Structures are given as C-alpha cells and as structure tokens.
Amino acid sequence: MKKFLFILSALCLVSCKSKNGTFQDQKDSSINDLSIKESQVRTSLEYLASDELEGRNTGTLGIEKAAIFIEKVFQENNVKPYFETYRDSFNLKDIVGYNVVGYIEGNDSILKNEFVILGAHYDHIGTAKEVNGDIIANGANDDASGTVAVLEWAKYFSKTKSNKRSILFTLFSAEEMGLKGSGHLAKRLKKERINLYTMINFEMIGVPRNENEIMAYISGYEKSNITEKLNTYAHSEIIGFFPKAKEFNLFMRSDNYPFYEAFKVPAHAISTFDFTNFDYYHHVDDEADKMDFKHMTNFITKMIPPIEGMVNSASQEIKMNHD
C-alpha cells in the first residue's frame, strides 16, 4: 500500500510539470501574460502607422484596414461588441464613418450598470505637405499611440476580468474632421440612457515629457477631482496640471468633450505630448520610428492601477467640481 501511495505521489508530481518546467513556472507564466509587452505595443503601432493604411483618413480604404485590425484584437481577446456589431456608423455627407466599440461587462451585479469609457481616435489626416517625396501622414503619435493604449487595456481586462463597472473601449473616427465620431457616439449613448460614470480619452502618448515633468497631464484639470483620485489609485503622481492645456483650450479639442457636453460627468483627455517634445504634429514625419516604445509601455502599465481604482471603487469617488 505504501509503495502504491509513493508511486501515485510521484505521478502527481510529474503531472504538475510542463515541458518547460513546474506548476509554479506555469503560474509565473500566467502572471507574466498580464504584463504589457513592449514588443506587442511596437507591433500594433507599426501596423497602424504604416504606409499601407495611407494615413487613416475617414472614409478611405486605409481606415477600413485599421478598423478591421481593431476588431480582430477585440475578437481574439473576447471583447464583445456593445452594439449589434463593433461598428457605430454615421454619415458625413457622402462619407460613411464608424467608431469601433468594444465592451467588457462589469463583474459586480450592481456596479456593472455603471460605465467607464476609455477612448482614443484611430483616424488621421491622410496626407500632408510633401517631404522628400513622402506625403503620407501616418499619425503614429496622433493618435495610433492612444489607440494602441486602449487596445492593450482591453486585452488586460479581458484576461483579468477585474472590473466591477462595465468598460467601453471606444476608438473614434472623424476626430480630425471636428470630433464627429465621438460626437455621434456620445449622443447615441445619451439617447440610450447609459449610466456613464467617467470618460478618459488618450491623445498622443507616444513620446515622453522632460524628466523633471510629471509623466502625463490632463485637460480640464480644474473641472473635476479626477487627477487627485487617479494619482491616489496609482500610489504615485503620474498625472498633473499643464498650464498650456487651458491656454490652448485642449479640453474642448479632443474626443472627451462631446461626452462632457452630453452627460456633464468627468470626461477628460490625458496626453504626454506637451508641444516641446515632438515636432511632427500633422506632419509626414509622425512615424513609428519617432515613438518611444519603452515610454509607451511604461505609461500603459502605470495607468492600469488608476483605471482599476476607477472601475472598482465602491462609490463614485470621481466628481465634478462646482464653483
């Protein structure tokens, strides 16, 4: 009997091993799978900012390819469409545009009825002034970088399922035409009476700020307590105030604004581009090789605890400031 138990224990020990190691190795591998990988960030951005997509202008074949890429990421990671399909379509005269919207339901029976939106625009301007024979404005920083960040968070939450509130991952088109895509989606969700808690738009996060500056800044800093709360959830000051954001009226110039207008809830944009660290805004040299992928990966990783704090707080701690 003792011999049988010894053999059974040995078989159990062997069965807990994989070809590459022990059960603990498998557990560690599973944990590592949750990390944001620089190689994947690079691969996604290099495709979205490639010449094949021809600058991702709304209504073109290039942005269609970008939409298909985004949908494939959602499908492969079991991120469901919020509507009947991933596409939220709208018309701009003779052009058909479409936002791409993914959805991960919250895991709390009550809080899942509240929504957080993480967004970025995946369109760009198509072409720009020719430089050395190049006219394609690839829009790597503007805003393939933000698009990749949203996709990485979608993949993360699809694995962890750690969100009590429901999350919409929204990639907007026609931002460059005047926030048309986000405007359409905000009105549609308002009409459907979605219970929106907060919205954060991520705009141009492909380059780092100066070392003596806070990692990122938020538009509409004074309008809510979101900066304080995000930094509290992060246990670090990663979001700060940027005077030029107010000077240049950035709060009203990005895809957060239609959601603020429609819902009057905290809806802001976060960026690491501060007008001193990147010279290629709407320029053909806004290319993937100008991006700092280590910085991008670090930023995406550091934003996970703030996002988790936002989607999991027992009450709605982020609130509008009222004079």
- Give the residues of the chain that fall short of pLDDT 50: 1-31
List, in order, residues 6 or more apart from 230 with CB less than 8 Å away.
238, 239, 306, 309, 310
Who contacts 227 (Cβ-Cβ below 8 Å, separation ≥6)?
A: 218, 221, 239, 240, 241
Q: Strands, E, within 243-308: which ranges?
A: 267-271
d(CA 68, CA 66): 5
Q: What's residue 31's pLDDT?
A: 42
- Looking at residue 120, its amino acid is A
For the stretch 164-212, pLDDT in tens is 999 999 999 999 999 999 999 999 999 999 999 999 999 999 999 999 9
Q: Do strands 166-172 and 115-121 pair parallel, antiparallel, or not at all (unpaired)?
A: parallel
pLDDT value at position 323?
52
| The pLDDT value given to residue 177 | 97
Name the phi and psi angles at 97, rounded to 5: -110, 165
Number of H helices and number of E strands within the chain?
11, 11
Reported pTM: 0.90
pLDDT at 33: 76
pLDDT given for residue 55 in this prediction = 98
pLDDT at 169: 99
What does the alpha-carbon distance between residue 267 and residue 226 come to, in Å, rounded to a whole number?
Answer: 9
Residue 300 structure tokens? 């995406």
Return the pLDDT at 34. Answer: 87
Decide: helix, strand or coil at residue 165. Answer: coil
Q: Is the peptide bond before 323 cis (omega within 30 degrees of 0)?
A: no
Instruction: Count CB neighbours of 50 within 10 A.
Output: 18
Q: Looking at 18-114, which runs of residues are DSSP E strands?
A: 80-81, 87-92, 95-104
